[in-house]
Amino acid sequence: MTFFVFGVLFSCLLLHQGSAQLLDLNCADISKNSISKSPWMALVQLPDKNCSGTLIHKQFVVASTNCVFNQSELTVLLGVFNSKLHKKHYDMYPTMQISVQNVFIHNKFDRDNYKNDLALLQLEQPVPYKENIRPICIWLNRKKIQNEKKIMKTTLWDVTKKMVFPIPQTRNVTLFSPIECKHVLDVSPDESHICAGYKFNASCVEAGSPLFQKLNIWNTNRTTLIGIQSYGVSGTCLFTSISSYIDWIVGIVMEVDVIVSN
């Protein structure tokens, strides 16, 4: 896509979304009564492994390139929630398994230093939004989101435990300094990375897990995607910062959306 065409698409998107600048106006608005606390969570299924992904649009899941690089036969599972806590809703809100049509990998992805570790999975068809399937919010402002409390959240499947019916689990993570990541991971994070991790009894083992926090938008707390886990050792995780790739994400999503709409 030419720079001019992208500029037109991006301007149209911002005009359409208004001052809130959200990638999808129907993004997650979770309440205490919601049957799913993470309706954006996707289980990316490959022939020899699984990893995490995050629904950001009716036809796109964002994941780690480390997970999907040189892989084929990808499918995505959406809509999983704790049916034991919400038995009466189980038949009303089934899970959805859908094939991946295209994989978009950043052309500057570097496996040695985990730079530009971001992939967009284009689903075979748009997914219908339901209470158990809804995208996470992406704020289109390119400025980094500051977190004075230094605490964010991440959700993962614990795929290493090989559960038959995994349920997404949400945990608190603490923001670390880049020096801590460099010391533990032996990589030098730059501005496109976020260093975070766990203080006790947890490890960074699941590529693609979303890093998020709640932002007040239109007087509503909306869950907003901040990063995608790229790599981790023990309790120290390296995340790819979403704010560094807004143009890349919007360019791909809008181009496909325009083609599908036509």
Residue position matching structure tokens 């309706």: 39
Q: How far apart are the first and last CA of the chain?
A: 17
Span 247-254, average pLDDT: 93
Q: Which 8-state DSSP code applies to residue 11?
A: H
What per-residue confidence (pLDDT) applies to 197? 92
- pLDDT, mean over the chain: 82
CA atoms within 13 A on the CB side of 227: 28
What per-residue confidence (pLDDT) applies to 43? 93
pLDDT tens for 80-92 read: 876 555 555 556 7
Q: How far apart are CA 11 and CA 99, in angstroms?
A: 31
What per-residue confidence (pLDDT) applies to 113? 84
3-state secondary structure of 208: coil
Q: How would residue 217 be classed by pLDDT, with cut points 50, 70 and 90? A: confident
Q: How far apart are CA 196 and CA 239, in angstroms?
A: 8
Q: For residues 60 and 72, is the Cβ–Cβ distance under 8 A? A: no
Q: What pTM does this model have?
A: 0.86
Residue 3 reports pLDDT greater than 60: no
Q: How far apart are CA 65 and CA 76, in angstroms?
A: 15
Q: Is the dihedral of CA 101, 107, 112, 117 positive or negative?
A: negative
Q: How would residue 248 be classed by pLDDT, with cut points 50, 70 and 90? A: very high
Query: What is the CA 28 to chain-centroid distance, rounded?
Result: 12
User: If phi over 0 gives left and psi between -120 and 50 gives alpha, with beta otherwise, what is residue 21?
Assistant: left
What per-residue confidence (pLDDT) applies to 165? 58
- Note the maximum CA span of the chain: 51
Residue with more model confidence, 114 or 136: 136
Span 72-78, average pLDDT: 91
Please, what are the domains in the chain? Answer: 33-135+248-261 (2.40.10.10), 151-243 (2.40.10.10)
What per-residue confidence (pLDDT) applies to 99? 96
pLDDT tens for 126-149 read: 999 988 899 999 988 766 565 556
Among 52-61, 63-72, 74-83, where is mean pLDDT lowest?
A: 74-83
Structure-token pair, residue 201: 């009894």
Task: Name which of 60, 193, 73 is nearest 125 in CA terms.
Answer: 60
Q: How far apart are CA 113 and CA 66, in angstroms?
A: 11
pLDDT tens for 165-179 read: 578 889 999 999 999
What per-residue confidence (pLDDT) applies to 124? 95
Residue 29 reports pLDDT greater than 80: no
What per-residue confidence (pLDDT) applies to 202? 76
Percent of the chain with pLDDT over 70: 79
Q: How far apart are CA 230 and CA 18, in angstroms?
A: 32
Distances, alpha carbon 175 to alpha carbons 151, 167, 182, 228, 239, in Å? 6, 25, 14, 14, 10
Residue 20 reports pLDDT greater than 60: no
Residue with more model confidence, 145 or 111: 111
Q: How far apart are CA 172 and CA 156, in angstroms?
A: 11
Structure-token pair, residue 108: 């500057």
pLDDT tens for 174-198 read: 999 999 999 999 888 899 999 999 8
3-state secondary structure of 42: strand
